Amino acid sequence: MERAGKTKGEAERTLKRALKQRAGLVGDGITSETRVKEIAELWFGDVELDVESGRKSPGTGQAYRSVLDRYVLPGLGELRIREVSVAHADRFLAALSSSVGVATAKTARSVVSGLLGYAARHGAVTSNPIRDTRPLSAGRSEGPRALTREERSQWLAQLEADEKAARWDLPDLSRFMMATGVRIGEALALTWEDVDLGEATVGINYTVMRIKGEGLVRKSTKTAAGERVLPLPSWAVEMLSRRYREALRTGTSIAGPVFPNSEGGLRDPSNVLRVLRQVRGSEGFAWVTSHVFRKTAATVLDEAGLSARVIADQLGHAQPSMTQDVYLGRKVAGRAAASALEDVLGKQSE
């Protein structure tokens, strides 16, 4: 480091001030010389507090921890905070995007931004370089895809004919998710206490997650908007009524999950998704994931003319923009738009 001054003494004083600023000793012993791996653990402590308080979902905490351990710490952990420049972060994220995908790189960007923001708040750096990195993009998106009416029938027929799919309750689980638009964890967290067959509604207040050190647990939904009471179509009420009668007949506890495992307890969403991938086949429905059922419900509601706000409430989104951008599979505008524009140029002479 070099500093200049009009005199030797002034140059020395300027240099000492610069060295002191670089050291920048602040609370928690954080300085610009602190390594990223040390800041990371302090920052993640705040993430855990946010999860416990409900400001972040357990899934977000798990995703951040996984990406932090697998990619961020091996790639940046040994650097000092002052060494993480915009250019360095840009190269790291670009390499990650190429090697493991844009989605993981975006999560890594959030993690690095969070821990460098933590450093900035403690005075170890003057700004967060992640803010100036290039946006991550996978190129043109094909847009959300929903099951058509014909595909819905074919999908259920395929599952009904598959012994493993039937054993894992995938036909009824698929029906329920298309009837409500709920997430896979929310569907698996549903208990009979949440179901009101008389009113034809279900209360969605929990999701199933596997928490390290705890196992499978029912946790509150991602946000306050995620807590909702959803009306059911008649065919979904009939399906749930049949399952309820079967639970009574077989002596299955009606205090437990609506879609239980073989022992009557909670199912692991990861295991259900694994079986879903196995039974969907390599052709025809290879593109189907659990979120496709969610998109299908959203698209059907959209085609029925419901507003984005109503559909967002159904899906548990706080912002209708999320619903519109990610979950609505409609490609062609309705004729109402053309009718409204019919007179935009006035009556045209023949």
CATH code, domain carrying 70: 1.10.150.130
Q: How far apart are CA 257 and CA 207, in angstroms?
A: 11
> Among 58-62, 297-301, 304-308, which range has the highest average pLDDT?
297-301
Give the pLDDT of residue 57: 72
- Please state the domain count of the chain: 2
Domain shared by 160 and 114, yes or no: no
The highest-confidence range among 52-66, 170-184, 300-314, by mean pLDDT, is 170-184
- Mean pLDDT estimate for the chain: 82
**Stretch 188-204: mean pLDDT:** 93
| Residue 216 confidence (pLDDT) | 86
Query: Whole-prediction pTM value?
Result: 0.66
Q: In degrees rounded to 5, what are phi and psi of residue 197? A: -70, -30
Q: Which of 83, 102, 132 is the last residue of a domain?
A: 132
Q: Look at residue 332 in the predicted model and tell me its pLDDT.
A: 44
Instruction: Give mean pLDDT, residues 290-316.
Output: 85
Cα 293 from Cα 146, distance rounded (Å): 7
pLDDT at 331: 46
244-257 average pLDDT score: 87
- How many C-beta atoms surround the C-beta of residue 162 within 10 A? 18
The closest alpha carbon to 243, from 295, 191, 294, belongs to 191
What is the rounded CA–CA span in Å between residue 267 and residue 260?
6
Most confident listed range (97-101, 126-130, 253-257, 275-279): 275-279
CA 109, CA 105: separation in Å to the nearest integer? 6
What DSSP assignment string belongs to 243-307? HHHHHHHHT--TTSBSS--TTSSPPPHHHHHHHHHHHTTTTTSTT--HHHHHHHHHHHHHHTT--
Same domain (yes/no): 323, 202: yes
Residue that wins the pLDDT comparison between 141 and 137: 137
Distance, CA of 92 to CA of 193 (rounded, Å):
48
CA-based nearest residue to 112, from 78, 67, 48, 50 = 67
In angstroms, the CA 295 to CA 315 distance is 9
200 and 312 assigned to the same domain: yes
Q: Do 123 and 187 reside in the same domain of the chain? A: no
Whole-angstrom CA distances from 225 to 79, 222, 248, 313, 341 are 40, 8, 33, 7, 36
User: Is 337 part of a structural domain of the chain?
Assistant: no
**pLDDT reading at 218 higher than 60:** yes
Residues 301 and 240 grouped into a single domain: yes
Section 16-39 average pLDDT: 69
* Residues of the domain holding 19: 8-132
pLDDT cut 90: percent of the chain above it:
37
**Judgement on whether residues 244 and 168 belong to the same structural domain of the protein:** yes
For position 26, what pLDDT does the model report? 43
